[in-house]
Amino acid sequence: MIKNKGYMGKILVVDLTSGEIREETLPDAVYEKHLGGLGLAAHILYARIPAGADPLGPDNMLAFVPGLLTGTGSLFTGRWMVAGKSPLTGGWGDANCGGTFAPEIKRCGYDGIFIKGISEKPVYLYVDDHTRELRDASTVWGLDTVEAEEYLETHAKEKGKKPKVVCIGPAGEKLSLISGISTDKGRMAARSGLGAVMGSKRLKAVVLSGQKRIGAHDRNEMKRLSRMCNKWVQFQPPFVTGPMTAFVGALLRVMPTVLTQDGMLYKILLKKWGTVSMNQMSPEMGDSPIKNWKGSSRDWGFRKSYSTNPDVFKNCEIVKFHCYSCPLGCGGICTMDDKYTHTHKPEYETVLSLGGFCMNQDVKGIFYLNELLNRAGMDTISAGHAVAFALECYEEGIITRKDTDGLDLTWGNAEAIVALVEKMVKREGFGHVLADGVKQAALRIGKGAEAFAVLAGGQEPAMHDSRNDPGFALHYSVEPTPGRHTLGSHLYYEMYQLWKVVKGIPKIPPMYLKGSKYKNPEKQAAIGAANSRFMTLVNCTGACLFASFLGAKRFPLFDWMNAANGWQLTPNDYMDLAGDIHTIKQSFNVKHGIEPKDCKISDRALGRPLQTEGANKGRSIDIEAMMTHYWEQFGWDGRTGKPSPETMKRLDGGV
Amino acid sequence: MAYFITETCNGCTSCARLCPAGAIQGEKKNRHVIDLGLCIECGACGRICPQSALQDPTGRAVQSVKKQFWAKPVFNHKTCMACGICINACPAGCLKPGEPSRKDKNAYPELADPGACLSCGFCADECPVEAVTLEAPPEAMAKAG
């Protein structure tokens, strides 16, 4: 049976405690209201995770969801998400990942796999068209993510096509609060510490091998839209060399005015190099936090960042890596001559967090650490943060060689950084102190170390400086998943070009003064709310953030949703639905005792005290006003950030 | 909807062995049955059945075709985006990413296991840019004149 909708209409619910596995059929109304992907996960987890549940206990539920548009003939919609209550922040946690796993959930016939309970012994979940069972995972427990995936690919299924695997590594098994979930041998759903949730359930992996067809209401229309979108993706004029990107960044820094960014420029960079195209451009622009948010673009100038210039990565890339249904292919597989021979091309976030953020110029070490962390299943952004935090504590004399097992943790000491991450991954000695992220490390070290911890709601923010773009400051602070860079910023808003299709949201002029971004918190909040709504839609459909940079006219997300499901909603209708889904996530946080006010990002990242040099000199953010206006955009209480009790009651209609 | 096995079936089992979804059940020498919930409408059973005992979802009888004449996917690298949709769509798992060239680092799909190809055309169906076409193997056609 093939449905003429983009969704399959069923979910799989697994209880590891009792071993029960059952299918649930969901009514169409659920999809019409919550779409799919992240929206579906929010709807079900909000109703089914009891208040006060221990994130590492049996009551927490882990959801694996593909997108509403995955496999319907649309492009860029091959991303899956994992969601649950985060042990890192104590509230809503989700992580997004690409690779080739997303369509497999649908091919098994489900719009989501929901896993609760705790297994006595290590197990993995195996699902195909005939079998749904929990199998003993004692042979793969303890293996790293690449070894485990290779073993399960060959041993879980006897014949036919290879199954798709998501698994945790040793970091997740050891309940590191900054561990993630891996697929395709090193693509990570890394944030929110959900690897620890999977580890606490003693669930090593989920292995899927389905054959079902994924439907669409009007596949020809889907394809027509895809071809239109693809035209823009394939447009690739010749572009400068890697190090020259630094000059583009420097130009953006010194200009008092900003030309509103069209995402096509970024698309061209991504297609040529991937996210590493920003390795030199971002620090020059002031978009990269340096030296644990203390430094500036002056500390990480052209010469320092040169060792990680984009061409270094392009030159050792042997094949491009495309996520499912992606015509762009920003990823890649690189060769390296180290303990490991191959690694996924390190992303910009990884290179910066283990590079400039720690003042580390050793590119070989970054390659090695990238593969080491991928195999361990640990988040590179949080790991880089933890290392930089330790470096600063060492500099300040709060910790000494005695505490660090003899490591000389000076800024940029490549050998010490590699040794420290190796310890973190194994949870040995001083590594144990850092293995649960900065928040826990600050508590364990004490002695006033928390002054150097830059956090948003317990999560380490990403490698985009909030002083350079107030949008990042806002989203780091107000999102139900704080500290995340993939949800919105002023720059993203320019690239989304949403005002071209959605009515009633602020329009950005083709050119504006840099300083204007820091004024008018009300407008910034309206921009932020539109960003949040749109990114919620992107995460519901399984679409990719980078694709949405193409702009709403070139990336026809709203039209795809209509064509895939036979709906006739306007972009504004979808934005309203997204607002409700966003409210569910916020209600989840409130239900679990999170105070939205407390998720505000640390002062250092807000320009308090002001930076005295570099790209963000003298920049500070009036975050409190922006937060209030943002919350009011969704009809929440402007003082506390909480949805009203009536709203929460209305949403609590569980399924 | 699904394919349907008529009473012409003599239980030779060739369709059950070929079905990629494992949707066909039956004893040897007895009429086989297709599970509606599992059938993915790839039509391999109809193409292989020596008795032409299959009806497609619209109720039409399906003509069997000699396996050497089954059309196989051909990829047009000029329009192909290397997005992997076809590789994922293939129920037989016979497509794989090919080797990148020195000039172009994309791994374009290729038919890695022609013997396993069911000629279902899902790869061509799902390709958004129509870079996949199904063509009968020219050498087999040449032999047959």
Contact A91, A53 (CB under 8 A): no
- Residue A654 has a pLDDT of 44
Burial class (CB in 10 A: 0-12, 13-18, 19+), B134: middle
Alpha-carbon distance A6 to nearest alpha carbon in chain B (angstroms): 13
Query: Distance of CA A24 to CAs A34, A227, A379, A651, Å?
Result: 16, 35, 33, 20
- State which residue of chain A sits closest to B116, comparing Cα positions: A160
Q: pTM, whole model, 2 decimals?
A: 0.96
A321 CB-near residues (< 8 Å, 6+ apart): A184, A329, A331, A332, A333, A344, A345
B102 CB-near residues (< 8 Å, 6+ apart): none
Contact A384, A350 (CB under 8 A): yes
Q: What is the DSSP letter of A611?
A: B
User: Hey, what are A120's tokens?
Assistant: 């006595």
Alpha-carbon distance B11 to nearest alpha carbon in chain A (angstroms): 22
Alpha-carbon distance B127 to nearest alpha carbon in chain A (angstroms): 7
In whole angstroms, give the CA distance from residue A226 to residue A653: 36
Closest residue to A211, CB basis, from B21, B82, B128: B21
In whole angstroms, give the CA distance from residue A181 to residue A205: 9
Q: Do A324 and B83 touch (CB under 8 A)?
A: yes
Alpha-carbon distance A635 to nearest alpha carbon in chain B (angstroms): 40
A514 CB-near residues (< 8 Å, 6+ apart): A255, A256, A257, A258
Element (H, E) at B132: strand B132-135
Residues of B in contact with A234 (CB under 8 A): 81
> pLDDT digits over B89-116, tens only?
999 999 999 999 988 999 999 999 999 9
Closest residue to A322, CB basis, from B83, B122, B130: B83
C-beta atoms surrounding A237 within 10 Å: 6
Closest residue to B22, CB basis, from A129, A219, A230: A129
- State which residue of chain B sits closest to A163, comparing Cα positions: B93
**Residue type for position B95:** L
- Look at residue A358 and give its three-state secondary structure: helix
In whole angstroms, give the CA distance from residue B4 to residue B41: 10
- Report the number of secondary-structure helices (H) and strands (E) in chain A: 26, 17
Contact A559, A565 (CB under 8 A): no
Closest residue to B129, CB basis, from A100, A227, A332: A227
Residues of B in contact with A270 (CB under 8 A): none
The neighbouring-strand residues paired with A92 are: A85
- Residue A241 has a pLDDT of 87
The neighbouring-strand residues paired with A331 are: A321
Q: Do B126 and A74 touch (CB under 8 A)?
A: no
User: Hey, what are A615's tokens?
Assistant: 């790209």
Cβ of residue B35 closer than 8 Å to a chain A Cβ: no
Say if strands A113-116 and A10-15 run parallel, antiparallel, or are unpaired.
Answer: parallel
Alpha-carbon distance B136 to nearest alpha carbon in chain A (angstroms): 24
Say if strands B95-97 and A80-85 run parallel, antiparallel, or are unpaired.
Answer: unpaired
**How many angstroms from the chain centroid is the CA of residue A426?**
24
A566 CB-near residues (< 8 Å, 6+ apart): A4, A5, A217, A218
Q: Residues 76 to 95 of B: which have CB under 8 A from any A CB?
A: 81-85, 88, 90-93
In which residue are the tokens 């509103």 written? A260
- Residue A655 has a pLDDT of 39
User: Hey, what are A254's tokens?
Assistant: 């010194």
Angle at A277 between CA A292 and CA A98, to 5 degrees: 85
Query: Distance of CA A562 to CAs A228, A430, A540, A546, A549, Å?
Result: 16, 53, 14, 21, 21
Closest residue to B40, CB basis, from A73, A213, A230: A213
The neighbouring-strand residues paired with A317 are: A334
Q: Return the half-sphere exposure (C-beta side, CA atoms, 13 A cut-off) of residue A42.
A: 33
- Residue B137 has a pLDDT of 85
Angle A521-541/A37-48 helices, nearest 10 degrees?
A: 90
ω before A506 within 30° of 0 (cis)? Answer: no
Contact A286, A342 (CB under 8 A): no
Q: Do A213 and B41 touch (CB under 8 A)?
A: yes
Cβ of residue B22 closer than 8 Å to a chain A Cβ: yes
User: Hey, what are A364's tokens?
Assistant: 């070989």
Q: What share of chain A is helix, strand, coil (3-state, %, to 5)?
A: 45, 15, 45
Residues of A in contact with B129 (CB under 8 A): 223, 226-227, 230, 327
DSSP codes joined into one string, A551-562? -TTTS-HHHHHH
Q: Return the half-sphere exposure (C-beta side, CA atoms, 13 A cut-off) of residue B88.
A: 31
User: Hey, what are A386's tokens?
Assistant: 């933890």
- Residue B145 has a pLDDT of 63
B44 CB-near residues (< 8 Å, 6+ apart): B15, B18, B19, B20, B118, B119, B120
Q: Which residues of A543-580 are buried (b: 16+ CB within 10 A; e: fewer)?
A: bbbbbbbbbbebbbbbbbbbbbbebeeebeebbebbbb
> pLDDT digits over B52-79, tens only?
999 999 999 999 999 999 999 999 999 9
Query: Distance of CA A652 to CAs A114, A498, A584, Å?
Result: 18, 31, 9
- Sign for the CA dihedral angle at A641, A643, A644, A649 comes to negative
- φ, ψ for residue A177 (rounded to 5)? -75, 0
A512 CB-near residues (< 8 Å, 6+ apart): A257, A258, A260
List average pLDDT for each run of 10 residues in chain A, which is 655 residues long. Answer: 88 98 96 96 96 97 98 97 98 97 97 98 96 96 97 87 95 98 97 98 97 95 97 90 90 88 92 96 96 95 95 96 97 94 97 97 96 98 98 96 96 97 96 97 96 97 96 97 96 96 95 92 96 98 97 97 97 96 96 96 95 94 96 94 84 54
C-beta atoms surrounding A515 within 10 Å: 11
Alpha-carbon distance A100 to nearest alpha carbon in chain B (angstroms): 8
DSSP codes joined into one string, B22-81? --EE--TTS--EE-TTT-----HHHHH-TT--EE-TTSPBPPP--GGG--EEEE-TTT--
In whole angstroms, give the CA distance from residue A529 to residue A576: 11
